[in-house]
Amino acid sequence: MFCFQCQETAKNTGCTVKGVCGKPEEISHLQDLLIFILKGISVYGVMLKDLGEPDRSNGRFIARALFSTVTNANWDKDSYLALIEEGLERKRSVRARLLSVFKDRNGRELDGTLPDAATWDTGDPGQYDKKAEKVGVLATEDEDVRSLRELLIIGLKGISAYSEHAAALGYQKDDIYDFLMEGLASTTRSLPTDEMIGLVLKAGEVAVETMALLDEGNTSTYGHPEISEVSTGVRGNPGILISGHDLKDLEELLEQTKGMGVDVYTHSEMLPANYYPAFKKYEHLAGNYGGSWWHQGEEFETFNGPILLTTNCLIPLKKDGTYLDRLFTTGEAGYPGAVHIHDRPEGGSKDFTPVLERARTCSPPSQIEKGTIVGGFAHNQVIALADKVVDAVKSGAIKRFIVMAGCDGRHKARSYFTEVAEGLPDDTVILTAGCAKYRYNRLDLGDIGGIPRVLDAGQCNDSYSLVVIALKLKEAFGLEDINELPISFDIAWYEQKAVAVLLALLSLGVKGIRLGPTLPAFLSPAVAEVLVKEFDIKQTGVVEEDVARMVAGE
């Protein structure tokens, strides 16, 4: 195997025996083969679109399949085998349609001009592993070409995750699915470097569009997030802990648990659900339990009740882990031995009965902390405070905003982000989104004239809110360039959704981003040099020095 898509990849070069995340070689190979098949489907999809005969029937399948390969999403072999079989069947179908179109047009034979990803087929699962060994990341021998291709594919994975959340709410766009196919198909061809870089930047533009679509879906369905105090304590009822990112799953779970004497708690990236007006009507939404994803080995044990994983951020159980019989997955998440809640039927809801039945047999959660967390500072809420914020900047009460969005992780160097938050002067405000906030959202950093010094916009996809806030401030101050704002970017990254956010920022022309705790292993020295030269990307460094430079606008 070879995998280097996350920040914790071995020696910051690549995992070759077993993923640092715990991913075994067998699952890695199946993921490689699945992506190879998606490339083949995309080749046909792009050709049909170019012929004026677009076929978007595979768009959402491609998004969901890519989403399943995000770090810590799916550990279940059988689900990958099913995706591969479905992918092969879809490829046969779209190929047949293309051949029919070509025959009607000019009778040309295609196979001589098509890449292996499009023409390869088998009905024998015994061939999967053999083929996977030949089509993984290292199949592209040129290091710089490999780097640009994988940067694009990794960005596409992030876009796919956000597009799937939007699709669950009924919000989809053909041009997003079209770009997923365009990007995947492009990696089967030799392209000039400039064209590959252009596709990477286009991925950033599409990431912005996708996050905007998801924001529209979330706010239209559940209302705009409000400034909220969220309890971190526990009640005396049995509980269900829901983790991941999918708000539709939470809504359906809350509806199905009404009046049953069972409380629902959010975990990790589901915390921001507590900020939405629509969820506040549920009295049995009890608050948030625990911290970021990598603490789940301990927190899932003490919770005592069932745990529902709706997306990625699922880590393998420890050898002494005892909660497998309480672990449920749904959507693109999967784990061997865990009960999987199947997709909702057309026009219907998922059936969470097995989760509810298990909850009734469990003790209430053990208390691991108490108090509250304040959040809900998404773009609508902050813009409502715009005059107050602008006045604070003009008066000098707020000297600088520091965007510290992104991911948390196990890497010891991530203490950097806590130390930065502690070291920033009292006239700075931290804008955050994603689970990176757990590094500092419990610190007592005070406020500036009633404006909290940590403004939590929500999940990683709510980084879009931070972009909207920045653009509104640019407008309020009458500036021409977003880089003229008193804002510095100090981004923590871990997985592929964070890469999509990074590409989104680059597509908007943001420069001088600090990225850490390491630069991505999938950036070759030459590609990294281009990003440094064009966008002034920096690796996070010494806390005191970075704080001083950010405060100085460097």
- Could you read off the pLDDT tens digit of each residue along the chain, which spans 554 residues? 999 999 999 999 999 999 999 999 999 999 999 999 999 999 999 999 999 999 999 999 999 999 999 999 999 999 999 999 999 999 999 999 998 888 777 656 676 789 999 999 999 999 999 999 999 999 999 999 999 999 999 999 999 999 999 999 999 999 999 999 999 999 999 999 999 999 999 999 999 999 999 999 999 999 999 999 999 999 999 999 999 999 999 999 999 999 999 999 999 999 999 999 999 999 999 999 999 999 999 999 999 999 999 999 999 999 999 999 999 999 999 999 999 999 999 999 999 999 999 999 999 999 999 999 999 999 999 999 888 998 999 999 999 999 999 999 999 999 999 999 999 999 999 999 999 999 999 999 999 999 999 999 999 999 999 999 999 899 989 999 999 999 999 999 999 999 999 999 999 999 999 999 999 999 999 999 999 999 999 999 999 999 999 999 99
pLDDT digits (tens, 9 = 90+) for 226-284: 999 999 999 999 999 999 999 999 999 999 999 999 999 999 999 999 999 999 999 99
In a domain, 1, yes or no: no
Q: Are residues 258 and 392 in the same domain?
A: no
Confidence (pLDDT) at 103? 77
Q: Are residues 203 and 158 in the same domain?
A: yes
In a domain, 368, yes or no: no
* Closest of 378, 372, 373, 371 to residue 226, by C-alpha: 378
In a domain, 200, yes or no: yes
Which tokens hold the place of 61? 């399948």
* Closest of 342, 340, 338 to residue 350, by C-alpha: 342
Confidence (pLDDT) at 387? 87
Which tokens hold the place of 142? 């040129």
Q: Are residues 105 and 248 in the same domain?
A: no
DSSP string, 344-368: PPTTS----HHHHHHHHTSPPPPP-
DSSP 433: -
Which tokens hold the place of 354? 């097995």
Which tokens hold the place of 453? 């010094």
CA angle 55, 58, 61 (to 5 degrees): 165
- Sign of the CA dihedral with 273 first, then 274, 279, and 285 last: positive
* Residue position matching structure tokens 């007006």: 277
In a domain, 107, yes or no: yes
In a domain, 365, yes or no: no
Q: Report the SS3 class of residue 405.
A: coil
The continuous run of DSSP H or E covering 36 comes out as: helix 25-50
Considering only the C-alpha atoms of the chain, give the largest distance between any 2 of them, rounded to a whole number of Å: 73
Confidence (pLDDT) at 386? 85
Q: Report the SS3 class of residue 411.
A: coil
Contact (Cβ atoms closer than 8 angstroms) between residue 464 and residue 378: no
CATH number of the domain within which 195 lies: 1.20.1270.20
Q: Report the SS3 class of residue 515.
A: strand
In a domain, 177, yes or no: yes
Q: Are residues 395 and 494 in the same domain?
A: yes
Measured CA to CA, the distance from residue 266 to residue 352 in angstroms comes to: 16
pLDDT digits (tens, 9 = 90+) for 173-204: 999 999 999 999 999 999 999 999 999 999 99
User: In b/e form, how buried is each residue of 358-397, taking b as 16+ CB within 10 angstroms?
Assistant: bbeebebbeebeeeebbbbbbbbbbbeeeeebeebbeeee
User: In b/e form, how buried is each residue of 245-264, taking b as 16+ CB within 10 angstroms?
Assistant: bbbbbbbbbbebbeeeebbb
The residues facing 267 across adjacent strands are 243
Q: Are residues 98 and 136 in the same domain?
A: yes
In a domain, 369, yes or no: no
DSSP 316: P
Q: Are residues 235 and 211 in the same domain?
A: no
Q: In the listed set 179, 194, 221, which residue is the last one of a domain according to the structure?
A: 221
* Closest of 180, 181, 189 to residue 145, by C-alpha: 189
Q: In the listed set 159, 192, 221, which residue is the last one of a domain according to the structure?
A: 221
The continuous run of DSSP H or E covering 226 comes out as: none
Q: Are residues 206 and 233 in the same domain?
A: no
Q: In the listed set 360, 392, 410, which residue is the last one of a domain according to the structure?
A: 360
Q: Are residues 406 and 542 in the same domain?
A: yes
Q: Are residues 391 and 451 in the same domain?
A: yes
Measured CA to CA, the distance from residue 136 to residue 129 in angstroms comes to: 11
Cis peptide before 520 (omega within 30 of 0): no
Mind spelling out the 3-state secondary structure of 108-173? Answer: CCCHHHCCHHHHCCCCCHHHHHHHHHHHCHHHCCCHHHHHHHHHHHHHHHHHHHHHHHHHHCCCCC
Centroid of chain to Cα 254: 23
Q: Are residues 208 and 233 in the same domain?
A: no
Q: Report the SS3 class of residue 228.
A: strand
Burial of 194 (0-12, 13-18, 19+ CB in 10 A): exposed
Q: Are residues 238 and 313 in the same domain?
A: yes
Compute CA distances 294 → 275, 298, 320, 372, whole Å: 23, 9, 16, 21
Can you give the residue range of the structural domain that contains 274?
228-360
Compute CA distances 386 → 457, 461, 474, whole Å: 15, 22, 11
Q: What is the CA radius of gyration of the chain?
A: 23
Measured CA to CA, the distance from residue 418 to residue 441 in angstroms comes to: 9
pLDDT digits (tens, 9 = 90+) for 121-132: 999 999 999 999
Measured CA to CA, the distance from residue 396 to residue 225 in angstroms comes to: 28
CATH number of the domain within which 423 lies: 3.40.50.2030
CB atoms under 10 Å from CB of 133, counted, come to 15
Confidence (pLDDT) at 520? 97
In a domain, 38, yes or no: yes
Contact (Cβ atoms closer than 8 angstroms) between residue 223 and residue 277: yes
Q: Are residues 291 and 196 in the same domain?
A: no
Centroid of chain to Cα 451: 28
User: In b/e form, how buried is each residue of 81-109, taking b as 16+ CB within 10 angstroms?
Assistant: eebbeebbebbeebbebbeebbeeeeeee
Contact (Cβ atoms closer than 8 angstroms) between residue 204 and residue 215: no
CB atoms under 10 Å from CB of 537, counted, come to 23
Confidence (pLDDT) at 109? 64
Confidence (pLDDT) at 113? 82
The continuous run of DSSP H or E covering 343 comes out as: none
Q: Report the domain count for the chain.
A: 3
The residues facing 229 across adjacent strands are 374
Confidence (pLDDT) at 424? 98
Confidence (pLDDT) at 200? 97
Burial of 426 (0-12, 13-18, 19+ CB in 10 A): exposed
Confidence (pLDDT) at 305? 98
CB atoms under 10 Å from CB of 404, counted, come to 26
